């Protein structure tokens, strides 16, 4: 919610805040010299509007492994260790989850890191002639 320091003239400005989160309204200043004053308040002062910083977290992505009927369990465990830094116990747990539930999350990353993981895992699986598939979805 944006607030402004000067009371009164405009309650909800429809334009976006500037990058430093301050909108200067040149209503009475003479900057808009040929523009009739829409409100009629005299004085010529600049109105300073302050707004909340609009900093959003970058989106995150789950890297997901899909089950199939042919890829050996040992190969999947190896993939989880090699590309997702899991220890053996964790890798076996995730592999069995994928095996029984159909898919499972290997990790959550920025878009670029997730894309790279997916690409490397799928290339590695192809190189070893396994149909194992890795994909990503919005977290």
Binding site for ligand TYC (CB under 6 A): 65-69, 71-73, 76, 95, 98-99, 132
CB–CB of 83/121 below 8 Å?
Answer: yes
**CB of 139: closest distance to ligand TYC in angstroms?**
19
- Give CA–CA dist 115/33, Å, rounded: 53
**CB of 110: closest distance to ligand TYC in angstroms?**
23
36 CB-side CA count, 13 A: 3
Q: Please give the structure tokens belonging to residue 60.
A: 């995150």
DSSP lists the bridge partners of residue 4 as 49
Instruction: Pick the closer one to ligand TYC by CB: 49 or 104.
Output: 104
Instruction: Pick the closer one to ligand TYC by CB: 68 or 115.
Output: 68
List the one residue out of 67, 65, 66 whose CA is nearest residue 80. Answer: 65
**CB of 122: closest distance to ligand TYC in angstroms?**
12
Instruction: Pick the closer one to ligand TYC by CB: 27 or 132.
Output: 132
Instruction: Pick the closer one to ligand TYC by CB: 25 or 80.
Output: 80
- Give CA–CA dist 112/116, Å, rounded: 6
**CB of 83: closest distance to ligand TYC in angstroms?**
12
């Amino acid at each position: 919610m944006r607030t402004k320091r000067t009371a009164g003239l405009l309650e909800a400005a429809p334009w976006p805040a500037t990058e430093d989160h301050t909108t200067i309204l040149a209503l009475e200043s003479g900057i808009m010299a040929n523009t009739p004053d829409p409100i009629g308040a005299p004085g010529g002062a600049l109105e300073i509007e302050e707004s909340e910083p609009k900093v959003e977290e970058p989106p995150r992505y789950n890297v997901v492994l899909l089950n199939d009927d042919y890829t050996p369990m040992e190969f999947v465990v190896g993939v989880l260790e090699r590309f997702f830094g899991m220890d053996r116990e964790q890798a076996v747990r995730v592999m069995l989850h994928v095996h029984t539930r159909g898919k499972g999350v290997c990790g959550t990353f920025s878009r670029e890191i997730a894309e790279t993981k997916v690409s490397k895992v799928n290339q590695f699986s192809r190189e070893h002639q396994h149909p194992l598939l890795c994909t990503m979805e919005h977290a």
